[in-house]
């Protein structure tokens, strides 16, 4: 491609709504243009990058035995209703009606569609296992689209679905995809970690997220400092520390006039948050839920929701509800005598002693509250883990970092196949539901993640395999005929050798060209300047600040060697 002909505009200024590096650089390098909040158009350089990632994904998926199909983005409501997700999905799903007022959605994922295809086509165990995938545009009406294509409302996704005859088959399909995903993200040049995750709205029995470490990541990821353990914060298991040597004391009601918050209580009782059992009250659809946690802990709403079961609307209870279940104003809730439909007790509380709690009475708290003597409920892990706590695998201290989720693989079990009658006949003529897995990669988000890991103050530093062009050939003075001719010759020869090359034949100052080539992040730059008279050109890597002079004879072997290392 000749840059003088390329549809390509860069920006010097940082766009006002861009907060993170990848968003800023994608806008500045002209890779994307915004159409509406969370909706972007991909310009030639951006699309070339998408295609490169798509090809890596396609190659590895095919190698792993996946077969590519392409499904409709619009899905009739009847299909989504079969799995129950039509009502489970809230505002995040774009819904529309056709001219006959029939309901459709824009597919946020395609479990139902793939399940429908398979139940119609696959009848016997002989046709299993199967793994089919698509690379297709997905739609999610995010509450808060942001960070450019990192959290967009329309995005390109690879979604694959595996169908097996049993759970062992599912495990093997899952492992197969796990391995393929590792290869894909390695080929993308990413520093990433596969971590345990919650299955979320898709449902299922096990899931792993592929997280790219990044300060701007929207997810908190828990790592062990010693072993391989990693998990999304939503999922990371809290370990109960044993409390020994304390006796359970007698419950005691204390007058605490207008003392409501944990801070005020700490002051009043001269002790730290760990001594208190705080009571959080939620509304889960039409049920009330109280969760009892240590005063210094953070509730984990995913763990709480998973304990309740299927929940559509979930939120903190309003003042009125709090009064109704506690019989007291907000600030004095406690587990003893509370009247919620569900009472969840964090294991730390169940294993601890003599907590201070609200008395469910205005201006009163109770000391020396103990489980199960004073209250009863479901005991479990309902809190976020914290930096420095013990790893659930090896006990070493954990660390918490930010991550960008670029891939997510799920074991779905028979969640969809049972609901949708996706069955097969086995050797004995018995009809069984298939066991499914689903596997997603955010293609466009992966671009953003790569830029977050590959950039400097001058712009993007693409890994070669993702770069829209591998080599830029830049004549310093386009008006100098010798320089332009030499540049064109090198450009043509490199293309003939199979490289993806761009020729910056624009009639601009060398400084402007270099800045643009750096901004759009081309890994190798060959500059043709004054030294051409001595038969030399300049070779510069985007990752290095210095260039080296090189004779035209040495150029092609040097490039060939260089490319093996990039």
Nearer to a copy of itself, 1 or 541 (CB): 1
Considering the complex, what minimum distance in angstroms separates the CB of residue 225 from a copy of itself?
41
Give the residue, chosen from 35, 225, 310, 396, that forms a contact with a copy of itself under the rule CB under 8 A.
35
What x/- string results for residues 148 through 177 when contact with a copy of itself is judged by CB under 8 A? -----xx-----------------------
146 makes contact with a copy of itself (CB under 8 A)? no
Neighbour tally for 70: CB within 10 Å: 9
Strand arrangement of the beta sheet that strand 378-380 belongs to: 314-316, 277-284, 287-294, 342-346, 378-380
The H or E element containing residue 435 is: strand 435-442
Query: Residue 40 corresponds to which tokens in the numbers above?
Result: 């972007």
CB 155 → a copy of itself: shortest distance, Å?
Answer: 10
What sign for the dihedral angle of Cα 542, 544, 549, 552? negative
Query: Which residues, other chains included, contact 59 with Cβ-Cβ below 8 Å and sequence gap of 6+?
Result: none
- 91 near a copy of itself, judged by CB under 8 A: yes
How far apart CA 185 and CA 181 sit, in angstroms, is 6
Asked whether 211 and 182 are in contact (CB, 8 A), the reply is no
Minimum CB–partner distance for residue 215 and a copy of itself (Å): 29
| CA separation, residue 184 to residues 69, 120, 171, 189, 498 (Å) | 19, 31, 20, 9, 22
Would you say 355 or 424 has its CB closer to a copy of itself? 424
Q: For residues 34 and 402, which CB has a smaller minimum distance to a copy of itself in the complex?
A: 34
Which one of 31-39, 343-351, 354-362, 458-466 is the stretch in contact with a copy of itself (CB under 8 A)?
A: 31-39
* Only segment of 36-44, 204-212, 389-397, 535-543 that touches a copy of itself (CB under 8 A): 36-44
Decide whether 153 or 305 has the Cβ nearer to a copy of itself.
153
Tell me which of 17, 74, 261, 341 binds a copy of itself, using CB under 8 A: 74
Please report whether residue 36 would count as binding a copy of itself according to CB under 8 A: yes
Rounded Cα gap, residues 321 and 317, in angstroms: 6
**Region of 40-48, 209-217, 410-418, 432-440 interacting with a copy of itself (CB under 8 A):** 40-48
Q: Which is nearer to a copy of itself, 94 or 458 (CB)?
A: 94
Q: Tell me whether residue 78 or residue 272 sits nearer to a copy of itself (CB atom).
A: 78
Nearer to a copy of itself, 67 or 543 (CB): 67
CB of 492 to a copy of itself, least distance (A): 16
| Choice between 79 and 450, CB closer to a copy of itself | 79
Instruction: Give the torsion sign (CA, 371, 372, 375, 377).
Output: positive
| Residue 50 in the binding site for a copy of itself (CB under 8 A) | yes
Binding-residue pattern over the window 103 to 142 for a copy of itself, x denoting contact by CB under 8 A: -x-x------x--xx--xx--------x-x----x-x-x-
Least separation in angstroms between residue 154's CB and a copy of itself is 5
Candidate list 14, 55, 72, 310; residue touching a copy of itself; CB under 8 A? 72
CB of 290 closer than 8 Å to CB of 279: yes
CB within 8 Å of 132: residues ≥ 6 apart:
66, 67, 68, 69, 114, 117, 118, 160, 161
Residue with tokens 């909040």: 37
Identify the burial level of 182 via C-beta atoms within 10 angstroms of its C-beta, where 0-12 means exposed, 13-18 middle and 19 or more buried.
Answer: middle
**What number of other Cβ atoms are within 10 A of residue 263's Cβ?**
11
Among 17, 98, 168, 341, binds a copy of itself (CB under 8 A): 98
| Stretch in the footprint of a copy of itself (CB under 8 A) among 97-105, 388-396, 420-428, 541-549 | 97-105
By CB under 8 A, is residue 42 in contact with a copy of itself? Answer: yes
Binding a copy of itself (rule: CB under 8 A), the pick from 44, 84, 200, 273 is 44
Token pair for residue 557? 């072997």
**Spatial contact of 271 and 277, defined as CB atoms under 8 Å apart:** no
Burial label for 424, CB within 10 Å (0-12, 13-18, 19+), is: buried
Q: Tell the smallest beta-carbon distance from residue 467 to a copy of itself (Å).
A: 17
Least distance from C-beta 66 to a copy of itself, angstroms?
10
* Smallest distance from a copy of itself to CB 91, Å: 4
The least distance separating a copy of itself from the CB of residue 14, rounded to whole angstroms, comes to: 17
The residues, any chain, with a CB within 8 Å of residue 118's CB and separated by 6 or more, are 130, 132, 161, 163, 422, 434
Measured from the CB atom, the residue of 6 and 330 that comes closer to a copy of itself is 6
43 binds a copy of itself (CB under 8 A): yes
Q: Which stretch binds a copy of itself (CB under 8 A): 100-108, 234-242, 396-404, 521-529?
A: 100-108
∠ CA(206), CA(208), CA(214), 5° rounding? 150
- Least distance between a copy of itself and beta carbon 162 (Å): 12
Shorter beta-carbon distance to a copy of itself: residue 77 or 182: 77
Choose between 102 and 248: whose C-beta lies nearer to a copy of itself. Answer: 102
Identify the sign of the CA torsion 305, 308, 311, 316.
negative
Please provide the size of the chain in residues: 566
What is the residue-wise DSSP string for 84-146? Answer: THHHHS-TTS-EEE-TT--EEEE-S--HHHHHHHHHHH--BGGG--EEEEEEEEEE---SS-B
Q: Does the protein bind a copy of itself through residue 99 (CB under 8 A)? A: yes
To which residue do tokens 């010693």 refer? 226
Q: Alpha helices of 443-551 — where are they, by DSSP H?
A: 443-453, 481-496, 510-520
Interacting residue ranges for a copy of itself, rule: CB under 8 A: 5-7, 9, 30, 33, 35-36, 39-44, 46-47, 50, 65, 67-76, 79, 91-92, 94-96, 98-99, 102, 104, 106, 113, 116-117, 120-121, 130, 132, 137, 139, 141, 143, 153-154
């Amino acid at each position: 491609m000749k840059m003088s002909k390329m549809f390509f505009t860069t920006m010097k200024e940082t766009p006002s709504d861009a907060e993170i590096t990848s968003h800023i650089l994608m806008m500045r390098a002209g890779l994307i243009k915004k159409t509406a909040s969370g909706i972007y158009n991909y310009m030639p350089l951006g699309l070339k990058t998408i295609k490169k990632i798509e090809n890596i994904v396609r190659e590895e998926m095919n190698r792993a035995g996946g077969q590519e199909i392409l499904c409709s983005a619009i899905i009739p409501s009847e299909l989504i209703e079969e799995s129950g997700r039509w009502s489970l999905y809230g505002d995040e799903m774009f819904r529309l009606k056709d001219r006959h007022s029939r309901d459709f959605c824009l597919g946020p994922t395609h479990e139902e569609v793939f399940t429908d295809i398979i139940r119609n086509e696959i009848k016997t165990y002989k046709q299993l296992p199967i793994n089919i995938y698509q690379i297709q545009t997905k739609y999610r009406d995010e509450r808060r689209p942001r960070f450019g294509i990192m959290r967009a409302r329309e995005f390109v996704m690879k979604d694959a679905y595996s169908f097996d005859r049993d759970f062992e088959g599912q495990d093997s399909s899952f492992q197969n995809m796990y391995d393929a995903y590792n290869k894909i993200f390695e080929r993308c040049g990413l520093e990433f970690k596969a971590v345990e995750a919650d299955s979320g709205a898709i449902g299922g029995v096990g899931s792993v997220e592929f997280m790219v470490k990044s300060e701007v990541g929207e997810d908190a990821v828990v790592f062990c400092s010693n072993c391989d353990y990693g998990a999304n914060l939503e999922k990371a298991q809290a370990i109960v520390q044993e409390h020994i040597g304390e006796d359970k004391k007698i419950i005691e009601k204390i007058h605490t006039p207008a003392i409501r918050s944990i801070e005020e209580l700490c002051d009043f009782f001269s002790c730290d948050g760990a001594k208190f059992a705080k009571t959080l009250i939620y509304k889960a659809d039409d049920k009330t839920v109280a969760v009892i946690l240590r005063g210094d802990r953070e509730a984990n709403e995913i763990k709480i929701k998973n304990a309740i079961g299927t929940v559509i609307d979930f939120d903190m209870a309003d003042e009125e509800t709090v009064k109704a279940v506690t019989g007291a104003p907000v600030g004095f809730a406690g587990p003893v005598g509370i009247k919620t439909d569900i009472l969840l007790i964090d294991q730390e509380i169940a294993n601890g002693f003599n907590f201070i709690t609200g008395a469910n009475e205005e201006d009163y708290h109770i000391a020396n509250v103990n489980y199960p003597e004073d209250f009863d409920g479901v005991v479990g892990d309902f809190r976020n883990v914290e930096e420095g706590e013990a790893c659930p695998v090896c006990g070493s201290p954990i660390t918490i970092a930010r991550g960008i989720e670029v891939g997510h693989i799920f074991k779905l079990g028979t969640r969809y196949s049972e609901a949708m009658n996706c069955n097969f006949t086995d050797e004995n003529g018995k009809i069984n539901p298939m066991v499914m897995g689903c596997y997603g990669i955010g293609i466009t988000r992966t671009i953003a993640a790569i830029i977050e890991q590959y950039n400097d103050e001058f712009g993007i530093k693409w890994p070669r395999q993702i770069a829209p062009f591998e080599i830029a050939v830049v004549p310093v003075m386009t008006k100098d005929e010798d320089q332009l001719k030499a540049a064109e010759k090198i450009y043509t020869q490199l293309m003939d050798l199979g490289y993806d090359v761009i020729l910056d034949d624009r009639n601009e100052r060398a400084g402007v060209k270099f800045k643009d080539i750096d901004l759009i992040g081309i890994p190798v730059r060959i500059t043709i300047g004054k030294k051409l008279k001595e038969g030399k050109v300049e070779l510069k890597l985007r990752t290095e600040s210095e260039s080296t002079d090189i004779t035209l004879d040495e150029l092609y072997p040097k490039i060939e060697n260089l490319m093996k290392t990039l």
